[in-house]
Amino acid sequence: MPKVRIYDPRGKMEAEGEVPAGTNLLKASTELGARHGSACGGVCSCSTCHVWVKKGFDSLSEPEDAELDILDKAFDVKAWSRLGCQAELDHAEVEYQITEESEKTWYDEHPKERHEAEAKGLWPPKK
């Protein structure tokens, strides 16, 4: 099983662990407890699960045309960007950073957690 390290938008490690090969990055984030949002539910029809792959980019499944088309809609796309719902792990170690757009989407999907973070002064994040 590949080891995965997940960083929040500010570069702080948020989660790490092992998940089965073939798991996509969005599902890996969910299983490991990272705040990785997806407005469409992970069906490649939005860009909110956008991540930046810091290590292991070439070990991920090849992006298909549908992913590349949707990725064009994301904010701050880089050469190492992928959609978490489409990028699947093989057996190599991978590190990726969840984008601000994705974290905001996660908080929008989890109002209780957003309210708790706001009450503690943790959301929205300070720049």
What CATH number is attached to the domain comprising 88? 3.10.20.30
pLDDT of residue 120: 94
- Residue 67 located in a structural domain: yes
Residue 98, token pair as written in the block: 């969840």
Of 53, 14, 54, whose CA–CA distance to 34 is shortest? 14
Domain span at 36: 3-119
- Residue 31 located in a structural domain: yes
What type of residue sits at position 100? E
Contact in structure between 1 and 61 (CB atoms under 8 Å): no
- Residue 52 located in a structural domain: yes
Residue 6, token pair as written in the block: 């997940």
- Residue 64 located in a structural domain: yes
With a CB cutoff of 8 Å and minimum separation 6, the contacts of 57 are 80, 82
- Residue 99 located in a structural domain: yes
Distance, CA of 49 to CA of 106 (rounded, Å):
9
Q: What is the pLDDT along the chain (127 residues), one digit of tens a residue?
A: 999 999 999 999 999 999 999 999 999 999 999 999 999 999 999 999 999 999 999 999 999 999 999 999 999 999 999 999 999 999 999 999 999 999 999 999 999 999 999 999 999 988 6
Could you give the number of structural domains in the chain? 1
- Residue 40 located in a structural domain: yes
pLDDT of residue 4: 98
pLDDT of residue 126: 80
Distance, CA of 53 to CA of 79 (rounded, Å):
9
What type of residue sits at position 123? W
pLDDT of residue 24: 98
